[in-house]
Amino acid sequence: MKYKRILLKLSGEALAGKKGFGLDPEVLDKISESIKEVHEEGFEIAIVVGGGNIHRGVGGNLKGLDRSTSDYMGMLATVLNALAIQGALESKGLYTRVLSAIDMQEVAEPYIRRRAIRHLEKKRIVIFAAGTGNPYFTTDTTAALRANEVDADVIMKATKVDGIYDKDPEKHSDAKKFDRLSYIDVINKSIKVMDATAVTLCMENELDIIVFNLFGENNILKAAQGEKIGTIVNIEK
């Protein structure tokens, strides 16, 4: 087992499936089944989920909202997604906890670092909601922050494509896929896989990032087991 404790980063858009918005029950079921496979292999799993299927934070500025208000709306959207993932996982017999950076004790526990670690040690799946609790920070940064706080071994970012490319593979047939990149490569080449704050935080703590296709067969398990899948971002050697 290359990694013991993993942090899985899911985009909100992934939960919407082909609909492009809201929640797709079939997608939730498929994702939860994949996470169950990983859990049964003995991995400790934490999850950070975005809210783009419900609200796009920065896009809200175009509709007359100030950035802070829009970002808080995005944080609340991640809580809805976290509860949906929790329900899907618990329907498969898994024990979960949702920890929210914004206090809402009726639906989630408050985020406390030691509590999160204890849940992981007890093999509960921990779902982090409401971002960092502050505007101007993305859920990518949340993933990097929480992964470092709970001593995760890797961030696994599940996307719609099978790794990092030099340009959008859906628009350019000649796009080149990278098997490995250094943190500096990602920052200097302005590769839009994670924001610079998140990548820098991972670089400072030498935390691996794996970017892979969420919907490939057994891909979450393969990534957790250290198989060569997607693109890995780590320290330059």
pLDDT tens by residue, 23-55: 999 999 999 999 999 999 999 999 999 999 998
Count of residues in the chain: 237
pLDDT tens by residue, 7-20: 999 999 889 988 77
Q: What is the pLDDT of residue 58?
A: 52
Given a cut of 70, whether residue 95 has pLDDT beyond it is: yes
Residue 63 binned pLDDT confidence (cut-offs 50, 70, 90): low
Which stretches within the chain are classed as H helix? 12-16, 25-40, 67-90, 113-121, 139-149, 183-188, 196-204, 219-224
Percentage of the chain exceeding pLDDT 90: 76
pLDDT tens by residue, 150-196: 999 999 999 888 999 988 888 888 889 999 999 999 998 888 889 99
Rounded Cα gap, residues 89 and 185, in angstroms: 36
Give the total number of structural domains in the chain: 1
- Distant-in-sequence, close-in-space partners of 98: CB < 8 Å, separation ≥ 6: 79, 82, 83, 86, 107, 108, 109, 127, 129
Host domain of residue 174: 5-234
**Closest by CA position to 24, among listed 14, 32, 16:** 16
Percentage of the chain exceeding pLDDT 70: 96
Rounded Cα gap, residues 156 and 139, in angstroms: 13
Given a cut of 70, whether residue 234 has pLDDT beyond it is: yes
pTM confidence score: 0.93
Given a cut of 80, whether residue 59 has pLDDT beyond it is: no
Tell me the pLDDT of the chain averaged across its residues.
92
For helices 196-204 and 139-149, the axis angle rounded to 10 degrees is 20
Q: What is the pLDDT of residue 161?
A: 87
Query: Alpha-carbon torsion 77, 82, 87, 91, what sign?
Result: positive
Q: What is the pLDDT of residue 62?
A: 54
Q: What is the pLDDT of residue 21?
A: 86
Rg (CA), the chain: 17
Q: What is the pLDDT of residue 237?
A: 54
Read off the DSSP letter of residue 161.
Answer: S
CATH of the domain at 61: 3.40.1160.10
Q: For 91-159, what is the HEC assignment?
A: CCCCCEEEEECCCCCCCCEECCHHHHHHHHHCCCEEEEECCCCCCCCCHHHHHHHHHHHCCCCEEEEEE
